[in-house]
Structure 1
Amino acid sequence: MSAHLTLGAPEHLDKLVGLVEAFHAEAGIEMTDEQRRTGLAPLLEGIPHGAAYLIGPPRAPIGYVVICFGWSVEFGGLDAMIDEIYVRPGVRKRGIATEAMIALPRALAQGGLRAVHLEVDRENTAALKLYQRAGFRSRENYMLMSRTL
């Protein structure tokens, strides 16, 4: 099994909605399918603010990753936040997520991206190990803060 990444397109919406629903069920995120479609469709239609990638074969993806683009003076240009990453439970522990987390930043760097950020629960040791294997490091004096509008 491979972590081959395919840039999401409008024809992938139904497959992605199903994967996102599975991730949200695991994470305890409550949303309707309509809300998921509203959040995903612009990414698949080419909105410049982010992108969704399918992990694995596009006809039967085993996961996905969503990134959102921004700009950072500190990092010297275009940056991105990994909004969500998910791999189906049945294929976990095979290095697929690690492979995807290494391949995606490399590909994005070729497009001019300067940094990739993510948020992780400090108690999620499996995710912490995954992200560290992929080269992500915590910024000890920094904490992500949010304000819902």
Structure 2
Amino acid sequence: MSPTIRQAGPADLEPIQSIIKEFYDLFGYPYEQERHRRMLTEFLANPALGSIWMVYHESALVGYLALTNGYSFEFGGHYALVDEFFIREAYRSLGLGRAVLTEIQQKARQSGLQALHLQTESYNPRAKQLYESLGFRDLNRSILSWEID
């Protein structure tokens, strides 16, 4: 059975925040509940920033995918970044990740995006293998970040 995805809206703040916290806790990312609540509230209220897709399997919320919007001269215009993608551990190896990304790729084409980017942790070769099997390419670049406070 393939997953169902639907775009989250402001009314989905609580379940989205809960599953994001689960993702951050699993991977040891820093999570500040009030800060994330403020960011999610702003993000869900402003579609120009991107979208969050809720992933369901047999009516259970099992994951989410966050897309943020950007613009790139190199890639010919508008693109989206898969900023976060999470499937609960109990639902991995069912083909849900592949099905979700395939549907997101179709939505990207339909919306006129020029590229879809994502990043993965270097310690997660299984995820990288999935992404490459769906046509994502490793451009052999490093992502460098400078955080402002």
TM-score, length-scaled by structure 1: 0.91
> What code does the residue aligned with 1:122 have?
S
The 2-side partners of 1:19 and 1:30 are apart by 14
Tell me what 1:135 maps to. Answer: 135
User: 1:46 offset after TM fit, Å?
Assistant: 2.9
In terms of mean alpha carbon deviation, does 47-56 or 64-73 score higher?
47-56
The 2-side partners of 1:95 and 1:108 are apart by 20
Moved over 6 A (4+): none
User: 1:3 offset after TM fit, Å?
Assistant: 2.5
The 2-side partners of 1:13 and 1:2 are apart by 24
Q: Where does structure 2 lack aligned partners over 5 or more consecutive residues?
A: none
Q: Does 1:95 align with 2:89?
A: no
User: 1:133 offset after TM fit, Å?
Assistant: 2.2
Please tell me whether the aligned partners of residues 98 and 133 of structure 1 are also in contact (alpha carbons under 8 angstroms): no
Tell me what 2:143 maps to. Answer: 144
3-state SS in 2 of match to 1:48: helix
User: 1:24 offset after TM fit, Å?
Assistant: 0.2
Tell me what 1:37 maps to. Answer: 37
User: 1:34 offset after TM fit, Å?
Assistant: 1.3
Aligned pairs, number: 148
User: 1:9 offset after TM fit, Å?
Assistant: 0.5
> What code does the residue aligned with 1:92 have?
R
C-alpha distance 136-60 of structure 1, shift in aligned 2 (>3 A): same
Normalized per residue, the structure richer in strand is: 2
Post-superposition CA distance 1:75-117 (Å, at most 9, x none)? 1110111110001111111010111111102112211111011
C-alpha distance 134-111 of structure 1, shift in aligned 2 (>3 A): same
Q: Where does structure 1 lack aligned partners over 5 or more consecutive residues?
A: none
Tell me what 2:110 maps to. Answer: 110
> What code does the residue aligned with 1:138 have?
D
TM-score, length-scaled by structure 2: 0.91
3-state SS in 1 of match to 2:83: strand
